[in-house]
């Protein structure tokens, strides 16, 4: 019984080992970026291509992004016809430089290299030195087993000699003409006019002084009138006293006369 169990375990381990070895041997895909020149000059337009090396591994999905170095500008590009791969879709997006494709029926295999994409790059006028084009966000897999493969990428470099730097645009150091006038705007003039107007308005208060003068004059006149000679009959008081005394004497005399007569 023990021998049978050991035999089954050994068989399972052997099968697993064979599967692992075959999977590791078949799980590699190689992509290569290439161009037809190694040296370039500013202004040159270079032709590039991305190719997949011969593979016996079934490829049912492809994705990668083309990385353009600083010093180069994308001009145009295209990808292989999806029918050549047996894919349902295989497209190139210029804005993101992404290539995407997938199959739903069967994986693609080839005994020779397969060109997946063609594109053109222009060398900028200020470019110089080694400029390398490579791929990123690479995913290669099978639509049948859903296995994702390890992918090796070979980049391509060109050397640009003697690039002419573009002169930077320098902003004028001269102050704009609109800033030149340091003189106060003429619109300030009304303020002075307003001040004069205010002064004139203050001057119009002068009539108050005139009225004050008039009041003083009236007061002086009144004072003069108060010191003028009185026109009452106070000077005749002694006459009235004399008349009163005579009246008293008359009354007294009448009283005495009556008494003597009796």
96: which 2 tokens? 């993101």
Please tell me what DSSP assigns to residue 28: E
3: which 2 tokens? 């021998």
Helix or strand holding residue 219 (H, E): helix 206-226
Per-residue pLDDT at 218 exceeds 80? no
Q: What is the pTM of this model?
A: 0.54
45: which 2 tokens? 């337009």
Q: Which of 5-9, 82-86, 91-95 has the lowest mean pLDDT?
A: 5-9
CB-based contacts of 111, cutoff 8 Å, min separation 6? 54, 56
If pLDDT is split at 50, 70 and 90, which confidence band does 123 have? very high
56-87 pLDDT per residue, tens = 999 999 999 999 999 999 999 999 999 999 99
Could you tell me if 35 and 160 are in contact, meaning their C-beta atoms sit under 8 angstroms apart? no
Helix or strand holding residue 72 (H, E): strand 72-79
Q: Using alpha carbons, select from 76, 86, 91, 78 the residue that is nearest to residue 50.
A: 78
Q: Which alpha helices (DSSP H) does 2-94 contain, by range?
A: 2-26, 82-85
More confident residue, 246 or 122: 122
State mean pLDDT over 28-41.
95
């Amino acid at each position: 019984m023990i021998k049978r169990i050991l035999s089954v375990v050994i068989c399972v381990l052997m099968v697993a080992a064979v599967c692992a070895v075959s999977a590791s041997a078949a799980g590699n895909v190689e992509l290569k970026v290439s161009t037809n020149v190694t040296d370039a000059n500013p202004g040159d337009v270079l032709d590039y291509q991305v190719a997949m090396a011969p593979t016996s591994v079934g490829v049912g999905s492809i994705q990668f992004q083309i990385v353009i170095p600083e010093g180069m500008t994308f001009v145009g590009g295209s990808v292989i016809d999806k029918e050549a791969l047996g894919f349902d879709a295989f497209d190139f997006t210029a804005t993101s430089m992404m290539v995407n494709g997938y199959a739903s029926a069967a994986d693609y295999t080839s005994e020779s290299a397969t060109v997946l994409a063609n594109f053109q790059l222009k060398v900028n006028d200020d470019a110089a030195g080694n400029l390398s084009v490579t791929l990123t966000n690479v995913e290669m897999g099978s639509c049948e087993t859903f296995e994702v493969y390890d992918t090796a990428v070979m980049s391509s470099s060109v050397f640009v000699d003697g690039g002419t730097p573009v002169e930077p645009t320098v902003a004028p150091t001269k102050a704009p003409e609109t800033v030149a006038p340091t003189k106060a705007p003429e619109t300030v003039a009304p303020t002075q006019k307003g001040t004069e107007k205010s002064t004139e308005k203050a001057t119009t208060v002068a009539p108050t002084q005139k009225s004050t003068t008039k009041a003083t004059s009236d007061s002086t006149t009144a004072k003069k009138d108060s010191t003028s000679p009185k026109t009452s009959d106070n000077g005749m008081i002694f006459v009235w006293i004399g008349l009163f005394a005579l009246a008293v004497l008359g009354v007294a005399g009448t009283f005495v006369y009556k008494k003597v007569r009796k």
